[in-house]
Structure 1
Amino acid sequence: MTSLADLLAQGAGHAWLFVPSALLLGALHGLEPGHSKTMMAAFIVAVRGTVWQAILLGLSATASHTAIVWIIGLAGLYFGRNLDLDTAEPWFQLASAAIIVAVALWMVWRTWREGRAAANEQDHDHGHAHDHDDEVRRIDTGHGVVALAIFEDGVPPCFRITAERGRPPRASELTVTTTRPDGAVQTFAFADKGAFLESVETIPEPHAFDARLSIAHGSHSHDFDVVFAEHDHGHGHDHGGLDVSDPGYQDAHERAHANDIKQRFAGRDVTTGQILLFGLTGGLIPCPAAITVLLLCLQLKQVALGATLVLCFSIGLAITMVTVGVVAALGMRHAEKRFGSAFATLARR
């Protein structure tokens, strides 16, 4: 059977085999497990993007992937002239194994930590009765769990924040901003009352609004969005907000990313420049097979063939990203129209 190197040495005579193979390999590369670019591209495009932006996403990924493969290929060709592969390969395998084991141990530790935190929170909920629990929102800030509550027993209604787990934030670090259905916005500062933090301002009726808890951290802040609804309104109002107190979010990191996405894109579409930049970053993870083929072509003096194969590989990657993005953009909207909010909740989880 003819080897790949022999086929490549014959040049363009086997282009009918090389080009489709490179396209297919590139398309499959975009679907490989562990490559988050397809998932992220589908998410961004499905939420706000258009079909044209999905196409632009794929084209920009093609450009960046082609460039990074050439950079790595030429660098490998230059620095690898004096490299003994037989000697170096075991060390590369050992380093790869160490990285994989380290990542696996980190994942196990993180899963154990989150499971233990969830169990502790459930024990706290079962062991203590809370009055007006529908007016309490528990938020995992990443440094602990705080309870944001509307308190009005014998006093004018105000916000109270208590630390249920971890280090409590300082009053000077906190603000709560409410946004009502009519667009009215109000910001609440807090005072330290010893066992809890209490808002300086009182909360006007009705208590139906989106609330954003902001915790200052150095030169920036971490924001967490929750929703409050009046008791007699049944299931409350859906203001289109993202309630990070919902247990469907697994940890503080997911909540923080959800809030970042909401803040960045709320009320406006993703711009063409953002899609272009996202596509460029999405193509920065090269496929080792593409680099190998390019190196073979360069060593065999088949520069034009190598450039063609890398380009075809990148086009295959672009086809996957464009297809997934377009299907997600059109399919998500169709599914939401047909199945309503239930599908959106399922997709989010």
Structure 2
Amino acid sequence: MRRLLVLLAVAAALLAPAAAQAHPLGNFTTNRYSQIELSGNRVYVLYVLDLAEVPTFQERNRVQELGRARYGAALQERLARGLRLAVAGKPLLLEPVSRALRFPDGVGGLKTTRLELVLRSERVPESNAPLALSFQDTNYSTRQGWQEIVVRAGEDAQLASASVPAQSVSDALRTYPRNLLRSPLDVDSASARFTPGEGDGVAPPLGRGDAAAPSRSSSRSEGGFASLIDEDDLSAGVIAVSLLIALFWGAAHALSPGHGKAIVAAFMVGSRGKARHAFMLGGIVTVTHTIGVFTLGLITLALSEFVVPEDLYPWLNLVSALLVVAVGITVLRVRILDWLRPRRKGAQAEPTGHWHEGHDHDHPHDHAHDHDHEQAHDHDHPHDHDHGHQHGPGGHSHVPEPGSGLRGIVAVGISGGLLPCPTALVVLLAAISLQRVGYGLVLILAFSVGLAAVVSGIGLLAISSRRLFSRTTFDGPIVRALPAVSAVIILGLGVVMTLRALPTIV
């Protein structure tokens, strides 16, 4: 009884948001903040760099090699070189004033990075009239994340105008607004006009150094699963409960936007798939997602200097979209051929040759009776067919259902599992960091199985719905058109996915 209570307590703790939560903008993001402070006859820049779990993990070897102090100094020098400041058309050098480097706890036992720098320009020209200021941040220009710039006037200086606000909406990358998480700020340059004061002015103080506050939307889905890898007690009972929880989070992740749930449903209707096809689809999703996580983990570990993991996601999105387009075209072509076949034959019956392709009938039948076709024929022996069977105006056809063939199922399955869940990658990296690789791999596999279970369930639901319609007494043109409409839906979704993926690559 006591062991059961312990396991239930562990389950409750792991299903709840963890104390160290996922980064609100995602585990891959590199976020920057520049506060331009006009004070005296100098320009000060408070620069904040906030790295999420994955980029911090990629930097771990440099931190260990250089040590914390030297790493901070090297990073400060690199960031300062990436800042461009000019006043009255004259470029100004920025020199360091102060620095603070921290590694706040992230999700799954991984760390995040928060570096705060205060830089000071050389003296600006004396002027009683407003001077033009331009600023640009070229650091991490290809990385995903938040980028914000503010301009404010300090001691003596007067700010006439600025292209950016004076107050930060993220509290210097401490609190990201929830309504902007899906479309984060991306401001890498600013301009202003100001009148300088006298003297060196006052440098802005370093911030509190707090880590970014987690968002509720990401904390449960990401923190709940990733926190499993950081569990102290790895007894058999705790591992069993952890695997069940990983299954749960995989299923929950599958229910979030993505993973082609609408495509799976449309495919099963359009291709007249069977129950075994739904289970096969789930298996392919499991294998694809698991291999994808492992592959991305290897790239993160071995090729971090050459390949940025988040840069692969747009390409994976495009490949997934093109697979859906290919499946949609194939299924639609089959439906069009089915529609044209009896019209080409006219009043003549189609050949009665049988094409065995391993497809089940939606209804058992035997041919111990006469067919009332224009080319009538008898079957003297009862037999069952393991292939598609349809009766058209001109006879009966044993043409296979190519849409539900192996190639179509594989394409849809790969499309649904091709994009690795970022949190699963975090679990893998955390497992490597904590030397729990075997445990991490099993958790990821359980997560993928949970994801695939939902995909298979959606496929089974679509099949059941189609059969329900087929058993009803009404058999109008709308019902008969459902497979073709489903094929059009698949193709349309694939085109939309492609159009969305292309701008992220170009």
Higher RCO (CA < 8 A, seq sep 6+): 1
Structure 1 and Structure 2 fold alike (TM over 0.5): no
TM-score w.r.t. the length of structure 1 is 0.44
Specify the structure having the higher radius of gyration (Cα). Answer: 2
Higher helix share: 1
